[in-house]
């Protein structure tokens, strides 16, 4: 018996990459930075606060923080206790308040009060890891970067873009399959899509448009390697 034409099949990797790239660009053609900020310094602080905290909560907290201090000079003048009292709703406030004051002081003494424009210098600041540095490099300075958090790591695995066991490996794999000119937007587009359609509880790899288009034959939930 002849096989039926146009029967469903899982997409090959190149096909998945092309579909995901095109579909995300259609859905979110000009993705905004979800963290409210005015300049590289306020973006740096907002990204630091977003660790293990929702962007929505950060945006509720930063107006009060930036009203008290929105430059390295004014932030360095605040006590750790004062900063902590404002940012407490974001969680991890003891560590984050110390990091905010410490990095503000270092920006003054080592960087002429300017946020540095290299990964090495950013990651040398208190509380600033590779993902935070990547967001600042991409969204403040337009430098090609592909910051990967646990959210993007999960979706990349569901979509068959990586077998990475951690965010570092996933970042490497995503940079290999997508054009460098798309990295900055894709970072945001994947985040927005995940929040809207491919949430941790709303899609297990068999529900949303991207998952079902890439893997129409998938029968079981996609198991994710946690970073």
Task: Determine the pLDDT at residue 226.
Answer: 74
Would residue 90 count as lying in a domain?
A: yes
Would residue 222 count as lying in a domain?
A: no
- Count of domains forming the chain: 2
| Residue 4 pLDDT level (bands cut at 50, 70, 90) | low
Average pLDDT, the chain: 95
Task: Indicate if 47 and 124 belong to the same structural domain.
Answer: yes
Which of 120, 139, 158 is the last residue in one of the domains? 139
Strands (E), 43-187: none
CA-CA-CA-CA torsion for 199, 20, 140, 121, nearest 10 degrees?
90
Structure tokens at 226: 């946690």
- Taking residues 13-37, report their average pLDDT: 97
Answer yes or no: is pLDDT of 227 > 80.
no
One-character DSSP codes across 107-167: HHHHHTTS--SSHHHHHTSTT--HHHHHHHHHHTT--------HHHHHHHHHTTS---SSH
> 173 with 130: CB under 8 angstroms?
no
Task: Determine the pLDDT at residue 3.
Answer: 47
Task: Indicate if 115 and 160 belong to the same structural domain.
Answer: no
Domain limits for position 105: 40-139
pLDDT tens for residues 208-224? 999 999 999 999 998 88
Structure tokens at 158: 């569901």
Neighbouring CB atoms inside 10 A of 44's CB total: 27
Least confidently predicted of 3-17, 122-136, 181-195, 210-224: 3-17
Residues constituting the chain: 227
Would residue 120 count as lying in a domain?
A: yes
Task: Determine the pLDDT at residue 174.
Answer: 98
pLDDT tens for residues 115-151? 999 999 999 999 999 999 999 999 999 999 999 998 8
Task: Indicate if 129 and 179 belong to the same structural domain.
Answer: no
> 11 with 213: CB under 8 angstroms?
yes
On the CB side of 70, how many CA atoms lie within 13 Å of its CA?
13
> 195 with 143: CB under 8 angstroms?
no
Which of 92, 110, 139 is the last residue in one of the domains? 139
Task: Determine the pLDDT at residue 77.
Answer: 98
User: Would the pTM of this model clear 0.95, i.e. be above it?
Assistant: no
| Residue 225 pLDDT level (bands cut at 50, 70, 90) | confident
> Active-site residues: which are they?
131, 149
């Amino acid at each position: 018996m002849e096989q039926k034409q146009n029967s469903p099949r899982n997409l090959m990797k190149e096909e998945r990459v092309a579909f995901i790239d095109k579909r995300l660009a259609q859905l979110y053609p000009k993705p905004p930075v979800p963290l409210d900020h005015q300049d590289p310094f306020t973006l740096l602080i907002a990204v630091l606060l977003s660790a293990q905290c929702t962007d929505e909560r950060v945006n509720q907290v930063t107006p009060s923080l930036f009203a008290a201090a929105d430059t390295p000079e004014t932030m360095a003048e605040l006590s750790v206790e004062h900063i902590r009292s404002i940012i407490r709703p974001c969680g991890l406030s003891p560590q984050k308040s110390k990091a905010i004051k410490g990095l503000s002081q270092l920006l003054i003494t080592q960087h002429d009060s300017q946020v540095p424009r290299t990964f090495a210098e950013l990651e040398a600041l208190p509380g600033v890891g590779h993902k935070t540095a990547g967001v600042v490099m991409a969204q403040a300075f337009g430098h090609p970067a592909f910051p990967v958090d646990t959210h993007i790591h999960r979706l990349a695995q569901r979509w068959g873009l990586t077998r990475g066991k951690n965010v570092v490996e996933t970042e490497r794999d995503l940079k290999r399959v997508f054009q460098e000119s798309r990295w900055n937007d894709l970072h945001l587009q994947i985040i927005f899509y995940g929040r809207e359609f491919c949430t941790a509880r709303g899609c297990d790899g068999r529900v949303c448009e991207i998952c079902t288009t890439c893997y129409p034959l998938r029968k079981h939930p996609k198991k994710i390697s946690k970073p």
